[in-house]
A and B are shown apart, each in its own frame.
Chain A
Amino acid sequence: MDSLIFLFLVQDGATNGAIYALLGLALVLVFAVTRVIFIPQGEFVAYGALTYALLATGRVPGTVWLLPAMGLAAFAIEMIGKGSRMSGREIATDAATHIGLPVVVVGATFALADKSASALTNVLLTLAMIMPLGPYLYRIAFQPVADSTVLTLFTTAIGVHLAMTGLGLAMFGAEGLRAGPLTDARMEIGPLMLTGQNIAVYVATVALIAGLWVFFEKSLYGKALRATAVNRVGARLVGIRTSLSGGLAFGLAAAIGAASGILIVPMTTVYYDSGFIIGLKGFVAAIIGALASYPGTALAALFVGVVEAFASFYASNLKEVIVFMLIVPVLVWRSLGAVHDDEEE
């Protein structure tokens, strides 16, 4: 095989793999903390991509209205559920995070949305619009069923995925969008040409993973999230609200999804329903990592990306099939291991 093609495919695969790694990590995080298999992860990618692409052309995306709507819904559910038992301070905090925050973001969006706005401004606006959707979504759809079975949570996740895809169509229309690159920089390494976008993907992935590591290892809230994943009863006994952990995990997942969307939309046209397949590839990585191991998931994601790149070069019709087939040997291997586990219990 031509070594240049080989290098090119590896590079292409690594770029996509980096995105899958981010999504896979978000899936593992959400599952560990809330036991939700987070099918709508991909919708956050599409929302992020399309929101950013619209902002880049100076338009105001529909997501800006979704934010206050969901904030208000989450606030209403919270108040109906336990408003009568909350202190005035708690109600004020809740109103600030569910109503005040969206109002500020809507105001900022209308003030800043402009053709001439910098890429950084648009990135920050996109994250500000998408990230809070995570905790709101958790409050509306998942917290009410937080203690039910994994299957119920999974069914809920599928329902949310369908609803969010429909909302995506309503907000962004059926046409795909693509944005200009975040930067025009280029870099040559031997025969390889790295575009600024490639570099942005690598840098953002490494920075996000490093940021997550610091958050989980060093911050009190990061530790609280880990504690909830490790032992829910223990976490409740030290006064960690499992709903807080759930909201936090969903917020991180939404932010990671939005960041992934911003990173890919300059490289490929994104449609309102493109997120699902992208999210599924992160899911393949997470399954290979057993929905438990963060480094395992990240490595598996790079592997998925590279396999995909080679598959699309040599057998482009079968590309998706080959990628999704990757989990079959893992599942077989694990089911053999599961027999052993059952005996132990």
Chain B
Amino acid sequence: MTALLDIENVFVRYGQVNAVRSLSLHVEPGEIVTVIGANGAGKSTLLNAAMGLLHADGGLRFDGADISSWGIERRVESGLCLVPEKRELFGAMSVADNLILGGFRVEPTERTRILASVYERFPRLAERRKQLAATLSGGERQMLAMGRALMSKPRLLMLDEPSLGLAPRIVADIFDIVRKLREAGVSILLVEQNARAALNVADRAYVMELGEVILSGGAQQLASDPRVAASYLGLH
């Protein structure tokens, strides 16, 4: 079986700075894969490059196709989607318009159908559909960002620190949604600093440090690895 996302020996640079170095990673269909690592390890850079916001050198394949020369819109159309760290919502526009635009590349009838299913998944958004995105609370904004991403019918959803800045109860909700999305057939690539929660929900995990993968394996196995425990789970 071909991997859904296959990143092979990829480099990403900001000018002279090598933010991602010789990195390889793959996500199989139906998997939840997490990338954990300290602030500045290069996790966001990796996701942004996979989405096409940044230029990457190396192998980038999605569902078997070489996507390295594709524009973002073509990647979106083929089922790749990123919920970025900063969410990048349309603040001055309504919740409903944010969602509708999430389905910009989807057929109109299909868009209406998916919109209904997103409202069903996030009743909070349905209640606030007329409200401007900028006026939402942090948790609601994250839900809107995920809802907007789901509007594009993603096959692989890349989530960049979805728990960042959220209250613990809401973080639990978000990870719950991640599990449910996988049950609905969406594969997930999850980047987190909250390593404990991420390892809990994921099948497999990669640990990044200074732009490189230093460890990888089953999520449970890594969670009990003493090196991971010491550096990322706050155990001594």
Is there an interface contact between B93 and A238, defined as CB atoms closer than 8 Å?
A: no
Q: In the assembly, what is the distance between CA of A236 and CA of B84, in Å? A: 12
> Does residue B119 face the partner (Cβ distance < 8 Å to A)?
no
> Does residue B183 face the partner (Cβ distance < 8 Å to A)?
no
Q: Mark B93-124, 1 if CB is under 8 A from A, else 0.
A: 10001001111110010000000000000000
User: Which residue of the partner chain A has the closest CB to B148?
Assistant: A238
Is there an interface contact between A220 and B100, defined as CB atoms closer than 8 Å?
A: yes
User: Which residue of the partner chain A has the closest CB to B84?
Assistant: A237
User: Which residue of the partner chain A has the closest CB to B103?
Assistant: A238
Shortest CB-to-CB span from A292 to chain B, Å, is 11
Is there an interface contact between B69 and A85, defined as CB atoms closer than 8 Å?
A: yes
> Does residue A227 face the partner (Cβ distance < 8 Å to B)?
yes
Q: Mark B60-95, 1 if CB is under 8 A from A, else 0.
A: 000000000111110011000110101011111100
9 more contacts with CB within 8 A, not counting A226-B90, A230-B92, A231-B89, are A223-B101, A227-B90, A231-B90, A233-B88, A235-B90, A236-B53, A237-B53, A239-B76, A241-B71
Report the interface size for chain B: residues with CB under 8 A from the other chain.
30
With a cutoff of 8 Å between Cβ atoms, the chain A residues found around residue B90 in the complex are 226-227, 230-231, 234-235
Shortest CB-to-CB span from B106 to chain A, Å, is 9
Residues on B facing A (Cβ under 8 Å): 51, 53, 69-73, 76-77, 81-82, 84, 86, 88-93, 97, 100-105, 108, 148, 151-152
Is there an interface contact between A230 and B104, defined as CB atoms closer than 8 Å?
A: no
7 A–B contact pairs at CB < 8 A?
A: A220-B108, A224-B101, A231-B90, A231-B91, A236-B73, A237-B72, A240-B104
Q: A238-B152, A240-B101 are in contact. Are A230 and B73 (CB under 8 A)?
A: no
A-B residue pairs, 5 tightest by C-beta: A239-B76, A234-B88, A239-B73, A239-B105, A230-B90
Q: In the assembly, what is the distance between CA of A226 and CA of B53, in Å? A: 20
Within 8 A of B (CB), among A232-285: 233-241
Give which listed residue, B81, B84, B108, contacts A233 with CB less than 8 A.
B84
Is there an interface contact between B93 and A239, defined as CB atoms closer than 8 Å?
A: no
With a cutoff of 8 Å between Cβ atoms, the chain A residues found around residue B84 in the complex are 233, 237
Is there an interface contact between A220 and B93, defined as CB atoms closer than 8 Å?
A: no
Q: In the assembly, what is the distance between CA of A276 and CA of B69, in Å? A: 42
Main SS at interface, chain A: helix
Is there an interface contact between B101 and A238, defined as CB atoms closer than 8 Å?
A: yes
Q: Mark A128-168, 1 if CB is under 8 A from B, else 0.
A: 00000000000000000000000000000000000000000
Give which listed residue, A220, A223, A224, A236, contacts B72 with CB less than 8 A.
A236
Chain A: number of interface residues, binned into ranges? 10 to 19
Is there an interface contact between A241 and B73, defined as CB atoms closer than 8 Å?
A: yes
Shortest CB-to-CB span from B204 to chain A, Å, is 25
Shortest CB-to-CB span from B130 to chain A, Å, is 13
With a cutoff of 8 Å between Cβ atoms, the chain A residues found around residue B53 in the complex are 233, 236-237
Shortest CB-to-CB span from A139 to chain B, Å, is 16
Give which listed residue, A223, A231, A239, A240, contacts B88 with CB less than 8 A.
A231
Shortest CB-to-CB span from B97 to chain A, Å, is 5
Q: In the assembly, what is the distance between CA of A85 and CA of B52, in Å? A: 15
Q: In the assembly, what is the distance between CA of A239 and CA of B92, in Å? A: 19
With a cutoff of 8 Å between Cβ atoms, the chain B residues found around residue A238 in the complex are 76, 101-105, 148, 151-152
Is there an interface contact between B97 and A239, defined as CB atoms closer than 8 Å?
A: no
Q: In the assembly, what is the distance between CA of A85 and CA of B74, in Å? A: 11
User: Which residue of the partner chain B has the closest CB to A87?
Assistant: B74
User: Which residue of the partner chain A has the closest CB to B111?
Assistant: A220
Give which listed residue, B89, B91, B104, contacts A239 with CB less than 8 A.
B104
Q: In the assembly, what is the distance between CA of A322 and CA of B186, in Å? A: 63
Is there an interface contact between B71 and A227, defined as CB atoms closer than 8 Å?
A: no
Q: In the assembly, what is the distance between CA of A235 and CA of B101, in Å? A: 8
Is there an interface contact between B88 and A220, defined as CB atoms closer than 8 Å?
A: no
Instruction: Name which of B73, B82, B84 has the most chain A CB atoms within 10 A of its CB.
Output: B73
With a cutoff of 8 Å between Cβ atoms, the chain B residues found around residue A239 in the complex are 72-73, 76-77, 104-105, 152
With a cutoff of 8 Å between Cβ atoms, the chain B residues found around residue A237 in the complex are 51, 53, 72, 76, 81-82, 84, 88
Q: A236-B72, A239-B73, A240-B73 are in contact. Are A230 and B91 (CB under 8 A)?
A: yes
Q: In the assembly, what is the distance between CA of A109 and CA of B86, in Å? A: 51
Shortest CB-to-CB span from B68 to chain A, Å, is 11
With a cutoff of 8 Å between Cβ atoms, the chain B residues found around residue A236 in the complex are 53, 72-73
With a cutoff of 8 Å between Cβ atoms, the chain A residues found around residue B97 in the complex are 223, 226-227
Q: In the assembly, what is the distance between CA of A171 and CA of B195, in Å? A: 67
With a cutoff of 8 Å between Cβ atoms, the chain A residues found around residue B105 in the complex are 238-239
Q: In the assembly, what is the distance between CA of A233 and CA of B100, in Å? A: 17
Q: In the assembly, what is the distance between CA of A226 and CA of B98, in Å? A: 11
User: Which residue of the partner chain A has the closest CB to B102?
Assistant: A238
Shortest CB-to-CB span from A227 to chain B, Å, is 5
Is there an interface contact between B101 and A230, defined as CB atoms closer than 8 Å?
A: no
Q: In the assembly, what is the distance between CA of A260 and CA of B76, in Å? A: 39
Q: In the assembly, what is the distance between CA of A220 and CA of B115, in Å? A: 14
With a cutoff of 8 Å between Cβ atoms, the chain A residues found around residue B100 in the complex are 220, 223
Is there an interface contact between B93 and A230, defined as CB atoms closer than 8 Å?
A: yes
Instruction: Name which of A224, A235, A236 has the most chain B CB atoms within 10 A of its CB.
Output: A236
User: Which residue of the partner chain A has the closest CB to B52?
Assistant: A236
Q: In the assembly, what is the distance between CA of A233 and CA of B91, in Å? A: 12
Instruction: Name which of A223, A237, A239, A240 has the most chain B CB atoms within 10 A of its CB.
Output: A237
